[in-house]
Amino acid sequence: MQRLLDQLRLGLSRSKTSDPAWQGNEAAIAVAALLLEVAEMDGRQDETERARAREIIEHHFGDGEQVLQQAQIARAEATDLHPFTSRLCKDFSQSERHDLIRWLWDIVHADGHADDYELALMRRLAGLLYVPDAASGLARRQSRAATEPKD
């Protein structure tokens, strides 16, 4: 009986991060997966959203297209967002998670339209990443101001 319980505990403690697709790039892939999730939340992925996601990944982690492809695979294997948000809560400081929320808002605003589904997902992600509503709201305003056309 104890052996069965030990095997069950071992199986439950394994996460997607042991998957070869994640090896060495856990944080980058988790960020990219969330960026892609936001980009596709409104039912379509605009090229400007994907381009912005690629820019963010390249600026902070390196090879943007490769990481986005790995994130696409990881998203297909995941049943929810928990593997990504839990990885980022472990690896990122509070300040870095605030930056991440700003990047996610940049994706929302990349196509010039904030869809209700995207807004709901952003509220959920802020909660999962332990980013207060006020900080998420500030990131939203900063992102919107940066993407508005200048007169």
pLDDT digits (tens, 9 = 90+) for 44-76: 778 889 899 999 999 998 888 899 999 999 999
Contact, 26 vs 87, CB < 8 A? yes
Integer Cα distance of 60 and 64 in angstroms: 9
pLDDT digits (tens, 9 = 90+) for 3-52: 544 444 444 443 444 443 444 689 999 999 999 999 999 777 788 898 99
Tokens of 80: 């929810």
Give 125-133's long-range contacts (Cβ < 8 A, gap of 24+).
125/34, 125/38, 125/81, 125/85, 125/101, 126/101, 128/81, 128/82, 128/85, 128/89, 129/85, 129/88, 129/89, 129/97, 129/100, 129/101, 130/89, 130/94, 130/97, 131/94, 131/97, 131/98, 131/100, 131/101
pTM: 0.81
